[in-house]
C-alpha cells in the first residue's frame, strides 16, 4: 500500500486537504451500522411502547442532522452542501436494527464521513432512547458500503444482513 495519507503533510503534521483544484462531481456514499439488543427491546421499538417515543423517527432525524454537521464534529472535514440524506432503519428480528445512511452532493470532495457519521449518530440515538430498558445494547459493524464520484472512483462492498451473529 503506497498511498499517502491525505490529511498528513510532508512533515507528518495533520492538515486540511486543499480541494480548490478539484472538479465538482456528483458524489454519493452509503454507510451502515447495526444496533444489537434484547429481543424484547426490539419488540418495544416496533410496537411503540418506549418511554421516549418513536425511536426510528427520532434516530432518522438525528442521523440527518449529524450528516449536515459532520464538518463540525470531525476535525479537518470540509463543510459540504448536501443535496440528499436518507436514513433507513430496518427491524431485523429477533434482536437488531440495521441502519443504512445514504448521502449525496455535488461537490469537490466526497461524503463518506457524512454517511458514516449519520449511521453512527442514528445508532447512538437508538441506544439513548432505549438504554433505560436495555443497557447491554451494542453498536456493531459501522462501515462504508459504497462511495462514488471523484477521482478515486467507486468503492463497494456487500451490506450486512439481518441474521443474528454478525
Q: Which are the catalytic amino acids?
A: 128
Set of cell numbers at residue 126: 437508538
Burial of 105 (0-12, 13-18, 19+ CB in 10 A): buried
Distance CA 57, CA 41 (A): 16
The dihedral formed by the CA atoms of 131, 59, 65 and 100, expressed in degrees to the nearest 10: 120
Q: Would you say 24 and 14 are in contact if contact means Cβ atoms under 8 Å apart?
A: no
Distance CA 34, CA 41 (A): 14
Q: What is the rounded end-to-end Cα distance, in angstroms, of the chain?
A: 28
Distance CA 20, CA 138 (A): 40
Amino acid at each position: 500500500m503506497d498511498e499517502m495519507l491525505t490529511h498528513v503533510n510532508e512533515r507528518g503534521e495533520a492538515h486540511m486537504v486543499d480541494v480548490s483544484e478539484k472538479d465538482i462531481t456528483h458524489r454519493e456514499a452509503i454507510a451502515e451500522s447495526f444496533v444489537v439488543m434484547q429481543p424484547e427491546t426490539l419488540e418495544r421499538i416496533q410496537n411503540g411502547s418506549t418511554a421516549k417515543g418513536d425511536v426510528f423517527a427520532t434516530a432518522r432525524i438525528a442521523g440527518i442532522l449529524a450528516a449536515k454537521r459532520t464538518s463540525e464534529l470531525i476535525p479537518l472535514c470540509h463543510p459540504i452542501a448536501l443535496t440528499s440524506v436518507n436514513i433507513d432503519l430496518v427491524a431485523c428480528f429477533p434482536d437488531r436494527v440495521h441502519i443504512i445512511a445514504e448521502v449525496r452532493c455535488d461537490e469537490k470532495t466526497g461524503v463518506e464521513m457524512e454517511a458514516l457519521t449519520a449511521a453512527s449518530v442514528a445508532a447512538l440515538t437508538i441506544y439513548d432512547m432505549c438504554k433505560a430498558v436495555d443497557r447491554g445494547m451494542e453498536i456493531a459493524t459501522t462501515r462504508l458500503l459504497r462511495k462514488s464520484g471523484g477521482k478515486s472512483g467507486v468503492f463497494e462492498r456487500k451490506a450486512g444482513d439481518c441474521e443474528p451473529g454478525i
